[in-house]
Amino acid sequence: MTSPAGSNHLAPRQLPQPPFRFYTERRLVELTGRRARNLGELLEHLQEVPGSSIFYHTHHQYLSHHFETPVFHNDFAGWVLRALRLEQLAERLAAIDLLAFTSIRQLRRSIVSAIQDYLAEGGWQPQESPPGDEFHFCLSRSFVMPTGIVAGDEREFFAKLPGVTNVSLFFHFFLARLRLERPTNDFSQWLGDLGHRELAKAIDRLDPYSRTLDELKADILALGDAYLGSGDGR
């Protein structure tokens, strides 16, 4: 095996990294026509609806404007509490750690198990939702488009991040990881590929579910500032 003339075969070759392109998601809500009036129907549909419906009902509230912080961001938990008045189950559903999963299949299994376990334990009264308050299964059709914002290196990335919308942030953090089944959020992936592994890990450790999107952006920027300011950044 010969190496290219003049190259140093002992050093790893530095391949040029592609720039980071910020994308955003535009969505249209699709209705499945499936509705649940009680826990049995909810469970049945949960096992049959497309994965995008599970994603929608566990994530869309993070993008919505709220006058008051919702009791639960998870629609299943919210409905079980409001319409069926099953407080304990609602809390268990809301407590499902969305960061623990890297696919919607796993998330669906966890939600279904939580309901099955609750049913198996007994001691609950079957409840029907009031008329007009059934659970309607929806999903979203996502249209992912470039925003035109591009960063060639980490300094440019953090300089441009403040101008990136919350919807774009949502796409790169929530949708890319769970719905497109990428191993981590897009920011950490790209920064890691550039060689900034500590910074990538630190961003990956941020829990996007316990922050608003504004807070998430501020925390990413703070990590970037600390890292680049410390001299670790190239």
Partner 1 sequence: MAAKLEDYQEVVGRDVVDELRAVAARVRHCRIQNINSTSVGGGVAEILARMIPLFLDLGVEATWDVIQGDEEFFQVTKAFHNALHGAPGQITPEMFDVYQRNTERILRETPLTGDVLLIHDPQPAGLVQRRREIGRRWVWRCHIDISTPNPLVWDFLRPLINQYDAAIFSMPDFAKRLSAPQFLVTPSIDPLSDKNRELDREFVRSVLEKGQVDPERPILTQISRFDRLKDPLGVIAAYRMVKKRRDCQLVLAGGDAPDDPEGEQVLREVREAAASDPDIHVLPLPPFSDLEINALVRGSTVVFQKSIREGFGLTVSEALWKRKPVIGGAVGGIKIQIINGVTGFLAYSPEGAAARAVQLLEDRRLREAMGENGRQHVKQNFLVTRHVKDYLLLVLALEHPDERVVEFH
Q: How far is the CB of 165 from partner 1 (least distance, A)?
A: 7
Task: Check residue 136 for interaction with partner 1 (CB under 8 A).
Answer: yes
Count of other CB atoms within 10 angstroms of residue 203: 23
Total of residues contacting partner 1 (CB under 8 A):
31
- CA–CA distance, 150 with 136 (Å, rounded to integer): 39
Q: Which residues contact 13 (CB under 8 A, 6 or more apart)?
A: 7
Q: How far is the CB of 28 from partner 1 (least distance, A)?
A: 4
Task: Check residue 68 for interaction with partner 1 (CB under 8 A).
Answer: yes
H helix or E strand, kind and range, residue 144: strand 135-151
**Interacting span for partner 1 (CB under 8 A) from 6-14, 106-114, 141-149, 219-227:** 141-149
Closer to partner 1 by CB, 47 or 88: give it.
47
Which pair of structure tokens corresponds to residue 218? 């501020």
Which pair of structure tokens corresponds to residue 175? 């949708």
Site residues for partner 1, 168-207, by CB under 8 A, read 175, 179-180
Residue from 38, 41, 52, 96 touching partner 1 (CB under 8 A): that is 52
DSSP secondary structure string for all residues of 103-142: SHHHHHHHHHHHHHHHHHH-------PPTT--EEEEEEEE
Interface ranges with partner 1 (CB under 8 A): 26-35, 50, 52, 65, 67-68, 132, 134, 136, 138-146, 165, 175, 179-180
